[in-house]
Amino acid sequence: MRWLLSLWFTPIAILVTWLVLASRDLSFGLFFLTRDFYDLVFSIYAQTLGIPAEELPPLVVRALIVDSAIVLGLYALRRRKRIQALVMQAYSKLSSSARAASAESLSSAP
């Protein structure tokens, strides 16, 4: 599961970094981080899809959020049994210590 998360996270992190840096034109001397390249990529993508280029960045961000939610939801479902076991173990320890404390208070009462 860790491999899946790392294989998912690496390209997403690269894409988000590119989106943020290129949209703000923080190029550091690299052409692919310039606003011109950013606009070129989204204009080509918009022509391919047949929609205006201004509508694409919010769609990409929404797609990244939905994909992230799906992957993290699958990860949470996978980890659910372990988390449930830890919660039940902690609950049983708390309830047993509470029972012991109430038994002591009952035995010390006159």
What does the pLDDT profile of the chain (110 residues) look like in tens digits?
778 788 888 999 999 998 889 888 888 888 888 889 989 999 999 999 999 988 998 999 999 999 988 888 888 887 777 777 777 888 787 777 666 655 555 555 55
* Beta-carbon count within 10 A of 18 CB: 15
Domain residue extents for the chain: 2-79
| CB contact at 8 A, 58 and 64 | no
pTM of the model: 0.63
Can you spell out the DSSP letters for 2-53?
HHHHHHHHHHHHHHHHHHHHHHTT--TT-GGGSHHHHHHHHHHHHHHHTS-G
* Cα-to-chain-centroid distance, residue 86: 23
Amino acid letter at 41?
A: V
